[in-house]
Structure 1
């Protein structure tokens, strides 16, 4: 199974935990949607309904932050509900928004915004509204802010950046001689320099230099393709891809596996386990895995840190990633008090996102937090905080983005590359064939 951020936990545990906190035992059903929030109702509080897909460790942090918000805003009744990660959540969101009966605010992947038909299923947000709540355009990295627009209107408020990063075992890397005097990983430039680093680490571990999820090869592919400034664009039933740059990215994967610098087969669990038990001195996975490795360190000892992806091409440290972001599902009518309270909630989450980054590993998108002295002193988070500027979103097309089909379809092909079961040339041909098959399908939203 691909290693996604906020992997789905057991549905019953996710719902029961949220139900206990919100008093909405029917949270998993459509009955929660209602007909729109009301200011007042059975109490003097303004009710704000929030939907999210955060069923992993980061979901626990969000629950904690929701409790803090409610304590500081006794006049707002926040009802937060977690649905199944990926397709179950997006299906529920589209169904609710299409009838105007979704939540007041929802947490989505920013890469999925345009696939949700925002002009018809989401309500735009004005910058003046955000300004009124202490949030401004300059508070976000340009690429993240621009991704929040569709058709010239603002539809999303970015909460974080989560991306593919490099974890490293300090003990192993020190023995391999690949640490700086301050204990950070040597920064390499170019493919061969990084391969040399992996070879030195492999000599220490006796097995691999780095571990990675061979089922989630889209992440590495997109990082190394974009570092070459490769573009993938879609429109009018056609698409453009740079074959040479795509082939170069795939060849890196093949070479890494062929030389034994990474596993030829490892799902998400095995990928992380290779790092935990010392079979690999490094691991390329998302920053959301920080809590897993912290727990392992506390239980058995694992002196690790994290840094951004290495630069393979053109001095870029671009990496595949995404953002969690808030959107306002379409309402038939908005109660003024509810909308104000909803935006107050979003602003609170941004202003207090130090806790989000500290506990969940995601890098806050709100730059006043990320660039603060407090956050820059937070380790290992500060070491990879540059992903806010370097994150590369998946291409704009309805079947792309987190929990979408492009990730899985391309990943299935690249898994065979890591397994050395297909050549890079054949893999590229298969990837293009799968993209063309997806292009022939109608968008389920449109």
Structure 2
């Protein structure tokens, strides 16, 4: 029996939707079921530069004369978006297509809020598993079915000022460093050039920023974190403490400011007051607009195992009570055509998930984007959990317990232990869906 044919308890689904969305606000009514087969509804949370690029991609597909037209609805990022999407799916009045972070699939797929993709129909429109990095494709699967198709991977990377690097004599070292000690040495040499800091890293009040760096360093030790409902969190405390102590050593007001937020870190790097900058690839447009002499690379493997934190924007099929087969086929065509044009999406810094685009000469010519194109081969997403993912409270729980560690006033072991205890409370609760 297909997901479309399953019967749902409206009360159960509505309660589940509210629980996994984290209490966000609803933003208007879901689309009705009276649209024609040629009128596709597409929801996403892309704003700013990303929103402009996405609008251009959709307009390009609409202009192909494929027999359909997609209408975009842009909703507020975070809980408002995920709440509305969950409620629309629970009521069976969802859009034809939506964007969802890969890290949120574990909270939506189990209760029937999403429909699985039909692999045969995907193949008909030219989309195959072989076209995606294995880890990225696998992240879209749940219980043996494919629930999301990645548009991109957007990792946490290391930017560096090329002029400062040359003056400090660390240009080659930036490509070869393989230990915490070597990284520290490079950062201190850059600090002598800038006279302020060697590294910019903003995290204050931002659990996501704390988690991105921590989880990169934690996974570089080949440390696992498994969150299974009904069981205690499976973690490597020694690896966590080692990662946190290294972060503490960087935040010493010499290498990097002890208490900086994201805006301060970006501004500092843009003004040449540091030589290195930990940031997401979504920072790239701002850096390019500044005309700063910079480059980017994956965060160096400092603890032995290649690992990088990232998430992905993915395409999902929210549950609808009544599906028009022709409109569903058009939806598949829309996704395929956007994927095939995703080199435009790469301009915003993201790594396209569709490998024929990554392997194209046009993408390989993009700098610094193509410098970190290998990250999907060893990407690490948030651990699967119904309470985790982008726009959820998972990263906030990390910040509540670990921010004092970053500030230098907290004990790494105690901070991480507090975070794990918070996870165990959630894991002890029945999964809402």
Same fold (TM over 0.5): yes
* Residues 1:164 and 2:156 are matched in the alignment: yes
Q: State the distance in 2 between where 1:156 and 1:61 align.
A: 21
Displacement of 1:258: 2.9
After superposition, residues 42-53 of structure 1 pair within 5 angstroms as 46-53=38-45
Q: State the distance in 2 between where 1:328 and 1:118 align.
A: 14
Q: State the distance in 2 between where 1:137 and 1:115 align.
A: 23
Q: State the distance in 2 between where 1:260 and 1:425 align.
A: 24
Q: What TM-score do you get using the length of structure 1 for normalisation?
A: 0.87
Displacement of 1:330: 0.9
Q: What TM-score do you get using the length of structure 2 for normalisation?
A: 0.89
Q: State the distance in 1 between where 2:90 and 2:312 align.
A: 24
Instruction: Give unpaired runs (5+ residues) of structure 2.
Output: 1-25
After superposition, residues 256-267 of structure 1 pair within 5 angstroms as 256-258=250-252, 260-267=254-261
Aligned partner of 1:142 in structure 2 is 134
The match for 1:438 among 419, 426, 429 is 426
CA deviations 1:172-214 (Å, max 9, x no partner) are 111111114xxx9433111111111111111111221111122
The match for 1:346 among 328, 335, 339 is 335
Displacement of 1:268: 1.6
Q: State the distance in 1 between where 2:308 and 2:400 align.
A: 20
Q: Which has the higher contact order (CA 8 A, sep 6+)?
A: 2
* Residues 1:378 and 2:357 are matched in the alignment: no
CA deviations 1:59-115 (Å, max 9, x no partner) are 111011111111123631211111110111110010000111010010010111011
Q: State the distance in 2 between where 1:36 and 1:232 align.
A: 45
* Residues 1:336 and 2:325 are matched in the alignment: yes
Q: State the distance in 2 between where 1:62 and 1:92 align.
A: 20
CA deviations 1:309-357 (Å, max 9, x no partner) are 11112241x1111110000011222211101110001001110000000
- The CA RMSD measured in Å over matched residues stands at 1.7
Q: State the distance in 1 between where 2:105 and 2:176 align.
A: 34
Contact preservation (8 Å) 1:353, 1:369: yes
Q: State the distance in 1 between where 2:332 and 2:110 align.
A: 18
* Residues 1:247 and 2:233 are matched in the alignment: no
* Residues 1:312 and 2:302 are matched in the alignment: yes
After superposition, residues 124-135 of structure 1 pair within 5 angstroms as 124-135=116-127
Change (3 A) 1:441 1:37: farther
Contact preservation (8 Å) 2:221, 2:305: no
Aligned partner of 1:355 in structure 2 is 344
Q: State the distance in 1 between where 2:211 and 2:356 align.
A: 31
Contact preservation (8 Å) 2:174, 2:186: no
The match for 2:198 among 205, 209, 212 is 209
* Residues 1:173 and 2:177 are matched in the alignment: no
Aligned partner of 1:8 in structure 2 is none
Change (3 A) 1:213 1:434: farther
* Residues 1:117 and 2:109 are matched in the alignment: yes
Tell which deviates more after alignment, 342-351 or 48-57: 48-57
Contact preservation (8 Å) 2:202, 2:265: yes
Displacement of 1:441: 5.0
Q: State the distance in 2 between where 1:60 and 1:319 align.
A: 28
Displacement of 1:382: 0.6
Instruction: Give unpaired runs (5+ residues) of structure 1.
Output: 1-27, 40-45
